[in-house]
């Protein structure tokens, strides 16, 4: 791993972390927009995760003493984010994706909102756009403008069946990350779900905003939609479900235990849809599911008649 940076001695308000892999078409615009920010002291950490296109040359040409470049062999987006977390110095952290877009001034506005609410974690809203260019809100059922504990937020999300786990919605207090030794679990897909669950299970101060300062662009050509990646995604879902169940068993999570089991069952729904329609190695994935997840744990997540019917369907296919 190589690291390029200029020495900074002043306090850093916000660290912006962006992993990149073959993002030459979009990363330049995003970097330019971020580095136009002058009202808040930032550092921009780009992790080039083994890009094979022109990305490396493009970002090596950036000249700004707020810019840090980490270059590593391809290890996946979560390892890239961990590499940036290891060196970041900001009092707050924002994670972005290389192919999306942000509102001008969004860093300053997020920072101000987070300070004013005294939150450990503040979660914003965003626009989701697809090929038709139509826009929809990423979430619509959150307790906007309210301060609540991480455990209360888990209860809310599970009860309302809306779990906005996307990293680019968040601004997080760095001391909170360090206090609870938070990092990304290894893997290639869906581990942002676990990051956000661990973030909330640590039970800090959360605040939600309906401000839509980010545009998430649904890309039909992304790796998550490739047929050779479906089995990887299925394996990642198994790991996610197993980890949620592990968290549910912990004594410190007794007040949210049933909600974690319920969420594990929700993620099992997502897994089953992927398994039935897209997975190639059904025998291997089915065997892994059985080894990692018990029917008894998923049964604890049943909360409705619909859950009963789903559990019967899941049992017939996998358990």
- In the chain, the percentage of residues whose pLDDT exceeds 70 is 94
Predicted confidence (pLDDT) at residue 106 exceeds the cutoff of 60: yes
Among 81, 155, 93, 235, smallest CA distance to 243 is for: 235
Of 30 and 131, the structure prediction assigns the larger pLDDT to 30
- pLDDT tens-place string over residues 221-254: 555 556 668 999 999 999 999 999 999 999 999 9
- pLDDT tens-place string over residues 184-212: 998 889 999 999 999 999 999 999 999 99
- pLDDT tens-place string over residues 249-287: 999 999 999 999 999 999 999 999 999 999 999 999 999
pLDDT grade for 5, boundaries at 50, 70 and 90: very low
Predicted confidence (pLDDT) at residue 6 exceeds the cutoff of 60: no
Predicted confidence (pLDDT) at residue 8 exceeds the cutoff of 70: no
Q: Write the CA distances from 313 to 260, 268, 306, 310, 316, integer angstroms.
A: 21, 11, 11, 5, 5
Q: What is the mean pLDDT of residues 100-113?
A: 96
- pLDDT tens-place string over residues 68-91: 999 999 999 999 999 999 999 999
Average pLDDT, the chain: 93
Predicted confidence (pLDDT) at residue 2 exceeds the cutoff of 70: no
Indicate the range of 59-63, 131-135, 233-237 predicted with least confidence. 131-135
- E strands within 118-224? 121-129, 135-137, 147-149, 170-173, 205-217
Predicted confidence (pLDDT) at residue 163 exceeds the cutoff of 50: yes
Residue 52's CB is within 10 A of a number of other CB atoms, namely 9
pLDDT grade for 218, boundaries at 50, 70 and 90: confident
Long-range contacts of range 81-84, CB-CB < 8 Å, 24 or more positions apart? 81/17, 81/19, 81/47, 81/167, 81/184, 82/183, 82/184, 83/1, 83/47, 84/15, 84/17, 84/19, 84/45, 84/47
pLDDT given for residue 130 in this prediction: 81
pTM, entire model: 0.93
pLDDT given for residue 98 in this prediction: 95
pLDDT given for residue 7 in this prediction: 41
- In the chain, the percentage of residues whose pLDDT exceeds 90 is 89
Predicted confidence (pLDDT) at residue 63 exceeds the cutoff of 90: yes
């Amino acid at each position: 791993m190589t690291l390029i940076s200029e020495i900074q001695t002043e306090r850093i308000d916000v660290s912006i972390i962006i992993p990149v892999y073959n993002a030459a078409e979009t990363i330049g615009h995003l970097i330019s927009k971020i580095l136009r920010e002058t009202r808040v002291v930032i550092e921009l950490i780009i992790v080039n995760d083994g890009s094979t296109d022109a990305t490396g040359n493009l970002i090596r040409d950036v000249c700004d003493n707020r810019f840090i470049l980490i270059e590593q062999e391809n290890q996946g987006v979560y390892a890239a984010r961990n590499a940036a977390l290891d060196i970041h110095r900001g009092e707050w952290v924002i994670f972005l994706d290389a192919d999306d877009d942000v509102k001008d001034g969004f860093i300053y506005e997020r920072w101000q909102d987070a300070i004013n609410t005294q939150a450990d974690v503040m979660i914003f809203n965003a626009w989701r756009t697809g090929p038709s260019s139509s826009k929809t809100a990423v979430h619509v059922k959150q307790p906007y403008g309210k301060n609540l504990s991480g455990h209360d937020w888990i209860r809310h999300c599970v009860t309302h069946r809306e779990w906005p786990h996307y990293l680019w919605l968040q601004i997080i207090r760095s001391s909170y990350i360090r206090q609870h030794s938070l990092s990304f679990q290894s893997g290639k897909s869906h581990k942002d779900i676990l990051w956000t669950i661990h973030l909330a299970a640590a039970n800090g101060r959360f605040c939600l905003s309906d401000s839509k300062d980010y545009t998430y662009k649904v890309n039909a050509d992304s790796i998550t939609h490739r047929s050779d990646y479906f089995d990887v995604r299925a394996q990642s879902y198994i790991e996610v479900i197993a980890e949620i169940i592990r968290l549910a068993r912990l004594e410190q999570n007794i007040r949210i235990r049933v909600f974690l089991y319920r969420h594990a069952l929700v993620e099992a729904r997502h897994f089953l849809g992927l398994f039935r329609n897209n997975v190639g190695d059904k025998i291997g994935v089915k065997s892994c599911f059985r080894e990692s997840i018990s029917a008894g744990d998923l049964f604890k997540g049943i909360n409705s008649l619909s859950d009963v019917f789903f559990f019967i369907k899941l049992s017939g296919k996998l358990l």
